[in-house]
Structures are given as C-alpha cells and as structure tokens.
Structure 1
Amino acid sequence: MRFVLLGAGLFALSLFVMSGQMGVPSGLPLPVQVAIAGAAGVAAWHARRSWWPLAAVGAVTYAWLVVWPPLLVASYFAGRTLSRSRGIAAYVGACLVVCGVSAVVGEARDGLQEMLTASLGNALFMALGMIGLPLAVGLWTRARAEVLEAARERAQRLEREQVMRAEQARAQERARIAREMHDVVAHRVSLIVLHAGALEVRATDEETAETAAMIGGIGREALANLRDVLGVLRAPRTGAVDAGSRSRPAPGGHRPGSVLGDLDAGYRPQPTLGDLDRLLDQSRALGIAVTRRDEGEPRPVEETVERTAYRVIQEALTNVHKHAGGVPTDVLLRFGDGELEVEVRNQAPHAPPEELPGAGWGLVGLRERVELLGGSLRTSAEESGGFLVSARIPA
C-alpha cells in the first residue's frame, strides 16, 4: 500500500514540477507530461521489487527536463539497498554523468534550465539536494535498521540461551530428584517387599500369610508407580509433565498423543475409577470399614478427571490410615451436570492412633492437581470429630 501511495505522490509531484511551479517549465503538451509523470509513478510503485527502473526514469527526466523528483527517490532507495561501497561509488559516478548531460542540455536550451544545470553553483546545489542528501538519508536509515535488527537478534539469542540454561538447570534438578528417589525410596520399599515375601513364606497361619502377601503386593505396586515417576523425571522433555497425565497404552504399547509415548512401553496404565474397588478392598483388608456410594447417572468422563478423583480418594484413605485408624469411612461419587464430586468422610477415631511419618504435602498436592483441572478441593474437620475431604472436578 505504501508503494502505491509513493507512486501516486511521485506522479503528482513530477507533473507539478513539469508545469513550472517547482522547476523548469517543460513546454510539452499535457498528455506527454502526464505520460512522463505516469512512468515515474509506475517506476516508484515497482521499486518494492527493483528500484533500477526508477533510477533510469529519474536520469532521463532530470537530464532532459530537470524533473528531479524521480532521481531524488531513486537516490534514497540506492542508499537503502546498495550494501557495498563499490556499488555506491558506481551510483554516484552515474549520477555525475547525468548531471554533466543535464548541463550540456541546459547550455543548448538557454534560459532557466541553463542557469539551474550549467552554472557551477546551481549544479552543485542541485546535485547535493537531489542526489547526495537522499542518498545519505537512505544510508542512515539502513544503518539504523541494521543496528536495530542486530539488537533484536542479540536479545533473542540471549533469551534462547537463558531458556536453555533454565532447561538445563531443570533437567539437572529432575535428575537429582530421580537419583534421590531411586537411592532412598525405592531401596526402602524394596526391603519392605522382600521382608513381606519372607514373612509370607515363614507364616504359620493363613491370616498372617495373606496380610504379608497384601503388603508385598502393595509394595510391588508402589515400586511400579515409582518407576513410572522416575521415568517422567528422567524423560528428555521440556516443560512440566504430570505423572498421571498419560493415557492408557494402545495395542503394542504405544500411547498416541502422549508426551511420554517414547518411554518404556511396559509401564502400567495409571489407575482410574475402574480400579477404585481394588483400592477400597485394600483399605478394607487393613481394617477400615469402607462404604462406597454412587449418586447420579454414571457416565464416561475424561481419564484425567478419573485419575484425579482416584488420587483424591487414595490420599484421603491414606490419611484415614495414618491419623484415624480403622474407623468407618464413606466414599461418595456424585455425577452432576458438568462436574464430578468426590467426598471421603471418616468418623471420629476411638483412640488416638499411632502417627505414621509423612511429608505433609499430600493435601497440598491434591489441591494443585484438582485446581489444574479447574476444580476445587475442600478439607474440614467436622463437629462429630470426623474429617471430610471433598473435591469438585469439571467433567
């Protein structure tokens, strides 16, 4: 659009100069003047691809009629595009030849054209004003644009380097966490599994053997989940990835659309509400009377919603084991309009249970997990002495 405006402006200015208002009257018929001005305008419009036609039109019109606007605009484009000093020197030399030809034509025509082009002072003034000044402006604007571009590239390069350093630091930290989890947590859980297996073999009564087998199964499941988490931490990927955000594997072990699809295909799928009864049975085997109730019309929901609901119930039951002992606990799943509500409510403990060590971040992590899906988590102690964990998750 700007080149269209440039062509229109140059057409009007050239026609104005040929009329004698800002230069030497051409004395040509109006149609010829319009044709010459039109050629200058078209050459200016074409300057977005090549400015040499504009320079040719400017040279002819200046030497013949002292129509200076095309040569002025061409000199600006020469300064903007000629990158080598040899090219600029060649352009200046060609312009001096044009000025010499203009002086010869001025001598032949006499009058105002001779005064403007043949006298040394006026010829120098015209050369500086129509060629030197726009050429210098073009060179300055190009140099300024190059400096700004270099500064922009430098800023982008520094930003990329900063991101790379941050990613490297994040990868190192993730690797350190993975090492600590493997060396400490995995080792301890492995010992639990081994001792449970030994107890199962040596147990003299069936109940002890079943309990030891259950402990060993839970430990092996914990090791499998821990392996998944360690794989996520060591995965060569950028950005935070939730260990529970993987989809179930397709036939052949590939997870379409999963950012972890290139990890070990033997990883087990993350639990969903379909695995909830097994989780409740494990708690019942440890002495907790767990009751499950479903309200509303059950319907399929996103797997991320199911996993989050499962984790809420799992953490709530873990807290019941740790802080309330074997007290009756109610688990409620309510399918509402556009949301899934999960409630875990336990009764007051009969006696203070033995407190098990914990990191204290379970509910904090649950709240973050639920809020990432746009939901909310509420935890509160009840007047009866029990405790409630309630989550609302958009579904």
Structure 2
Amino acid sequence: MASSAVVLRRVVERYAPWLLAVVVAAAVWASATGAIGVRSPLPPVVALLVAVASGWAASLVRTRRWPLFLAAAVGWLVLAAAAPGVVASYQAGLRLRGRRLTDFLLGAALVLAGGVLVGLEVGGVRRLTTATLGNVLLLVLWLVGFPLVLGLWVRARRDTLAALRDRAERLEREQEARADRVRAEERTRIAREMHDVVAHQVSLMVVHAGALEVTAADPATVEAAALIRRTGRQALTDLREVLGVLRQGGPTTVPERGLDALDELIGESRSAGLRVRRRDEGVPAALPATVGRTAYRVVREALTNVRKHAADAETTVCLRYLPDGLEVAVRNGPSGAGQSLPGAGQGLLGLRERVELLGGRLEAAPADGGFLVRALIPVEGAA
C-alpha cells in the first residue's frame, strides 16, 4: 500500500502541471463561448489564443508565477474568464509572503475594478454579471477571497508539518547524543571494572610466576613459570589496549596480528603443552591484511578451545591457499581429559560473524572423535 501511494504521488506530481494547463485552457474556452460564463463577442481566434496562453501560464506556475498573474488579468478583462484568476489567487496564498502578497491584492483590486468598467462599457449580460454591486462582491469572494484563504491554509499546514519534522529530527539528534554519552559513560565504567578485576588478578599471576621462576630449582618448573610470566605480561598489554579503546570511545582499533605471527602462536601453544603441528597446502600468495588477521583469529580461537577442552589431543593447523581465498582448518583428535576449563561460549559465535562479514563461512563441529573448526575466507571484497 505504501509503495502504491508513493508511485501515485510521483505520477500526480509529474503530470499535475499539464493537467492544470488543460483544465484552465478548457475553462477559458468554455467561458468565452458562453458554456460556463458570459459569451464573448470577440472573434473565436482571440478566445482560443487567450485560452492557450492561460493554459501555458498555468503549466509554468511551479517555476514562474508572473505569466499566470498576467493571464488571469487578461482573461478577466477580455473574456471575463474566472479560471486563471482562481488559480492565480490560490498560488498567491500558497507562495507569496509579505510585500509580494500585498502587491498581488492591490493588483487584483485594480483588475476587478477594470472588469467593472469594461462591464459598464459592454453592457448587457456582461454588465449584469461583472458590474452590479452584488455580483462584484460575489466575484471578489470567488475569484480572490476563497482561493487565497485556501492557499494560505495549505501553506500554514505545510509550514506546521515542516516545523514538526524539524523538531522531531532535532529531538532524534538530541536522543542520539544522549545515547552516545551514556555509551561513553558505560565504556568508562566497563573499562574501570575490567581494570579493577581482571588486571589486578593477572598482575598477581605475573608476580607469582616471576617469584616462582627465581626460587624454583627444577628447570622444567622454571621454564613453565617463565612461560606463565610472559603470557601474563602479554595479556596485560592486550588488556591495556582494549581498555584504551573503551575509554576513548572512538574508531580506534586494537592492533591485531596476521599470518606472519602464526608460527609464534603455535609455538606458544606447544610451550603450553599442546601437541600441535602446522601444514600448508597450495601455493602461498600475498593476501589482504583483513584475510590474514581473520585467519589468525580463527587459529587462535580454535587453539584456545583445544587448550580448554582437549589439552592432551593431537592438533593440526592446516592452511590451504585457494585461487579465490584461504581455507583455515584446525582439527584436534580424541581427548582423554576428564576436566575442561570454563568458557563463555561466545568465541566461535563472534568468530563466525567476523568471517561472514568478509563473505566467508565458518564450520565448527565434532569430527572423528575430536573437533574441527574450518573457515573459508574469500579474497574478493576483503581490504
């Protein structure tokens, strides 16, 4: 229904000037021939010229108004044709303001006075119609008063609707500004709480790991403590970057790693006790940075899930270079671990949204007693 109304409105707006021109021209001709007015004694060719000129002037009213005002004056004085005057008065009320409206009223008064003089001179039906007191008052109302008031009312209604739209848009902008302020305050609060809770606990972990690294006698314990300390320090660095973005509230993004850091990521997982290996297939090619960052995120999230739920399983990270993209697959075998680390369950969901944003797809499902995470990331459309 809404689309049909829009189409109808466009059609009306497009053809309304031509329809108005035909109606005005036909009304002037009917008035000159006596069908709806006073029959003119002038030759038909004069009436035809005035009718065509009045229709042409009416078709130009959206861009130029003076031809219509001139046609209204000529049509009334020569043929006593009312149609151009009615349209001219309506357009004056709709479009003219201040001094211009006053000038129009003065001109309309002069034209009506001239029509009285012409009626007195011509006599007969013309005098009875346009020169008697009662008819002159009715003509003032019909030719000028009513259409002028109608035009003023339409203009006032349009101005009111425009003012309401402006007010609604201003209120919407103010509401958006308030929402932005609330979001900024919420970001600051979240950043403060994250710093108070997470950063404090991670800092304690780093401190204890450093103390254990210094006091332990077992080389394996020293190596494990050093790994915990390095991992904790890296977590603190990443956390500070995230908190900085939350506090700023702008378009700043946290720096992310790409495929060049994949070996380091796998090495960290091996140091943490995972049995993981990497396999590349196809011909390596230069990839957009977005593809590299997304592939790194896929591998990192998959390895994190392996550490949580299948730390003793054999894991394979496979990169398959395709002509139109990159396929990343992380598969772990069966696990005999009886206990897994807690998780929020949102990592794969956010990862799927990130991959689909690039036009790719992500699969995550059990496979051969283990688990498979596979992402197909197209090159086309990636930045």
TM-score (norm 1): 0.80
Residue 325 of structure 1 deviates from its aligned partner by: 2.7
* Bigger helix share: 2
Task: Tell me if structure 1 keeps the 8 A contact 2:312–2:337.
Answer: no
Match of 2:341 in 1: 356
* Of 223, 227, 235, the match for 2:236: 223
Separation of aligned partners in 2, 1:215 and 1:200: 10
Which of the residues 294, 302, 309 maps onto 2:295? Answer: 309
The offset of 1:103, in angstroms, is: 1.5
Residue 31 of structure 2 contacts residue 79 of structure 2 at CA under 8 Å; is this kept in 1?
no
Partner of 1:292: 278
- SS class of match (2:61): helix
In the other structure, the counterpart of 2:375 is 391
The amino acid across from 1:147 in the alignment is T
Q: Secondary structure at the match of 2:156?
A: helix
Q: How does 1:239-388 map to 2 (within 5 A)?
A: 259-260=251-252, 269-336=255-322, 338-353=324-339, 355-382=340-367, 384=369, 386-388=370-372
Give the match for residue 70 of structure 1: 84
Read off the aligned partner of 2:268 and give its amino acid letter: Q
Write the letter of the residue equivalent to 1:62: W
Residues 1:178 and 2:176 are matched in the alignment: no
Tell me which moved more, 364-373 or 69-78: 364-373
1:192 maps to 2:214: no
* Root-mean-square deviation over aligned CA pairs: 3.0
2:7 paired residue number:
none
Q: Decide which moves more: 279-288 or 132-141.
A: 132-141
Matched, 1:99 2:112: yes
CA deviation profile, 1:241-280 (whole Å, cap 9, x unmatched): xxxxxxxxxxxxxxxxxx43xx7xxx7x411122111111
Q: 1:45/1:387 Cα in 2 relative to 1: closer, same or farther (>3 Å)? A: closer
Q: CA deviation at 1:38?
A: 4.2
Of residues 210-219 and 279-288 in structure 1, the stretch that sits farther from structure 2 once superposed is 210-219
Q: TM-score, with normalisation over the residues of structure 2?
A: 0.82
Aligned length: 365
The more displaced of 270-279 and 375-384 is 375-384
Is the alpha carbon distance of 1:12 and 1:351 closer, same or farther for their aligned partners in structure 2, counting shifts above 3 Å? closer
SS of match in other structure, 2:280:
strand
SS at match of 2:179: helix
Task: Say if 1:50 and 1:381 are closer, same or farther in 2 by CA, change over 3 A.
Answer: closer
In 2, Cα distance between equivalents of 1:236 and 1:50: 52
What letter is aligned with 1:332? Answer: C
Q: How far did residue 156 of structure 1 move?
A: 2.6
Describe the superposition over 1:137-183 as per-residue Cα deviations: whole angstroms up to 9, x where unpaired: 21222223223323333333333333333333333322222222222
Unmatched tracts of structure 2, length 5 or more? 1-13
How far residue 44 of structure 1 moved from its aligned partner, in angstroms, is 2.8
DSSP 3-state at the match of 1:47? coil
1:253 aligns with none
Work out the CA distance in 2 between the residues paired with 1:208 and 1:285.
Answer: 12
State the Cα distance separating 1:346 from its structure 2 match.
Answer: 2.1
2: CA distance, partners of 1:376 / 1:57: 69
Sequence identity percentage: 49
Q: Distance in 1 between matches of 2:331 and 2:56?
A: 82
Residue in structure 2 matched with residue 22 of structure 1 by the alignment: 36
Q: Give yes or no for the alignment of 1:161 onto 2:146.
A: no
The residue that corresponds to 1:236 in the other structure is 249
C-alpha displacement of 1:91: 4.0
Partners in 2 of 1:64 and 1:175 — Cα distance? 79
The whole-number CA distance in structure 2 between the counterparts of 1:217 and 1:45 is 81
Between the aligned partners of 2:349 and 2:194, the Cα distance in structure 1 is: 20
The answer (yes or no) to whether the contact 2:57–2:68 under 8 Å persists in 1 is yes
Alpha-carbon offset, residue 381 of structure 1: 3.6
> Which residue number in structure 2 is paired with residue 247 of structure 1?
none
Q: Provide the secondary structure at the position in 2 that maps to 1:359.
A: coil
Whether the 8 Å contact between 2:28 and 2:75 is mirrored in structure 1 is no
The residue type paired with residue 334 of structure 2 is A
2:54 alignment partner in structure 1: 40
Alignment correspondent of 1:254? none
**2:285 aligned counterpart, secondary structure:** coil
Q: Compared with structure 1, are the counterparts of its residues 315 and 61 closer, same or farther at alpha carbon in structure 2 (3 Å cutoff)?
A: closer
Q: Displacement of 1:232 after TM fit? A: 2.7
Work out the CA distance in 2 between the residues paired with 1:116 and 1:90: 26
Aligned residue number for residue 148 of structure 2: 135
Q: 1:347 to 1:54 in 2, by over 3 A?
A: closer
Which consecutive segments of 4 or more residues in structure 1 shift more than 6 A?
none
Using the TM superposition, give the Cα deviation of residue 382 of structure 1 relative to its aligned residue in structure 2, in angstroms: 4.4
Residues 53 and 279 of structure 1, relative CA distance in 2, 3 Å threshold:
same
